[in-house]
Structure 1
């Protein structure tokens, strides 16, 4: 049976004269782009240029909302009222939709960023607040979730389209959440190891945590980062290894209902 996966990357994270990531090069590697919406990173000019280049490359565009935390790059946890959290997601999604349309494209999916994503991978209530807020704006949007976490459990009950995501350069805990960036080995820097590990997960249809048993997972898309020293090399190596193994790379269409 043939296997097809999407490759996604978080981008549009530069701000004014401060450049973050290698977006131009990554847009030649990935099939989907998660574009920062100005809260944790990015600005209107960066959003516009990133989305225009995504359209040129035939790359699917996604909104990538996070906490209003430019200084901490959206990686600091915040305790916000649910109403505020919902409006925060809706505001950023609306901005992404406007900039995508002006660039000749459209927002296909939504992926939460950083600490907001991590919190929602642990807390179904928070995930539901964010996803229901997004769906109230666009009922057809595809929600990208951390596979086999609370995020997935929520979208399975919402009747929306969703896509399961795994990470090429991040280590996993036994419960399918990501190892905290502050711990040794949390971020993988070796391109060959990252690619071999991802190919193993795709072929197994499971997350392979650093400790514990394989976790069956909906692997629709693979996240490739662009803001580390070896990140671009990892992205290119993962793409090459998957293609050499006969895996088809294409933008996800989304799924619905319960996985498995």
Structure 2
């Protein structure tokens, strides 16, 4: 099983989360590419740390929205979105290659991630960008998202993730945060849910049902309070349950190619 987290989300003197600690825990790192967060110094430094720890580098592409941290929908033209995703991929991949690794997968950030669940024009735009850059580059996202369906049709390797610290609805989507029990706060509960996902591909929904999910990677949120402790608990629980950990989509052989 793969563990991923968002890192490299500082900008200039401003920082978010404990990247050093997270990169000692996760197996894949979603690195901000300068549009929602990150700058060239941060991108290169983060890639160097990931490479030194054998962590796969993923391009965490987003809308051009530094002020909003990429959390606001942007009604950008599809052709422009394709060009902007290409720009982000190229910038991060240059930093990764300078660090002795390379971009191993693509994962959208924030509002773009949410939009691509159903926004067909933007889904096609992102798929077009990845295909143009490297048609063998895996893409990572939520099960059922329209962009992953389009990516699969286009021949891109598709991988699916689940959130460690969110409870799911019966439809397989994260339950509304306002619903009681939607966000577990007990680290032991979070770790147990992740073991069940990794071991048998099942998760208990917010209304108590058991739901089957295909999961290639488990996401731990790096910017929330106590994130490092939660990530460490999840990693230790998976190892304790005999679940092998490593980057998805071909592992480090692809990363170091």
| Residue 203 (structure 2) pairs with residue 203 (structure 1) | no
1:64-103 pair list within 5 angstroms: 64-103=60-99
Residue 250 of structure 1 is matched in structure 2 by 246
Structure 2 counterparts to residues 39-50 of structure 1, below 5 A: 39-50=35-46
2:5 to 3, 6, 9: 9
Paired with 1:193 and 1:43, the residues of 2 have a C-alpha distance of 36
Of 233, 237, 246 in structure 2, the residue corresponding to residue 237 of structure 1 is 233
User: What are the ranges of 5 or more consecutive residues in structure 2 without an aligned counterpart?
Assistant: 251-257
Aligned length: 251
Q: Runs of 5+ in structure 1 lacking a partner?
A: 255-260
Show CA shifts across 1:66-86 (max 9, x none): 111122211111211111111
* Deviation (angstroms), 1:217: 2.6
The Cα shift of 1:182 comes to: 6.6
Check conservation: 1:144, 1:162, Cα contact below 8 A: yes
How far 1:185 moved relative to its partner? 5.3
Cα distance, 1:135 vs structure 2: 1.5
- The aligned residue for residue 258 of structure 1 is none
**C-alpha distance in structure 2 between counterparts of 1:173 and 1:79, whole Å:** 28
Report the equivalent of 2:138: 142
Q: Is the 8 A contact 1:195 1:237 kept in 2?
A: yes
Whether 1:19 and 2:15 are equivalent positions in the alignment is yes
CA contact (8 A) 1:12 1:23 kept: yes
Q: Which residue of 1 aligns with 2:154?
A: 158
> 2:34, 2:5 → 1: CA distance?
17
Question: Within 2, Cα distance between the matches of 1:120 and 1:141?
Answer: 18
**Correspondence for 2:253:** none
Q: TM-score, normalised by structure 2?
A: 0.90
Which whole-Å CA distance do the structure 2 matches of 1:246 and 1:62 have between them?
26
User: What TM-score comes out, normalization by structure 1 length?
Assistant: 0.89
Q: 1:176 touches 1:207 (CA, 8 Å); kept in 2? A: no
Shift of 1:35: 0.3
CA distance in 2, matches of 1:50, 1:100: 9
Match for 2:173 among 167, 170, 177? 177
1:61-113, CA deviations, whole angstroms, 9 ceiling, x for partnerless residues?
11001111122211111211111111111111111111111111100100000
Q: Summarize the Cα distance change of 1:99–1:181 in structure 2 as closer, same or farther, 3 Å threshold.
A: farther
Q: Which residue of 2 aligns with 1:107?
A: 103
Taking structure 1 as reference, are residues 132 and 236 closer, same or farther at Cα in structure 2, changes over 3 Å only? same
Q: Distance in 2 between matches of 1:176 and 1:192?
A: 22
Contact 1:191/1:230 (<8 A) preserved: no
Q: CA RMSD in A?
A: 2.1
Q: Secondary structure at the match of 1:248?
A: coil
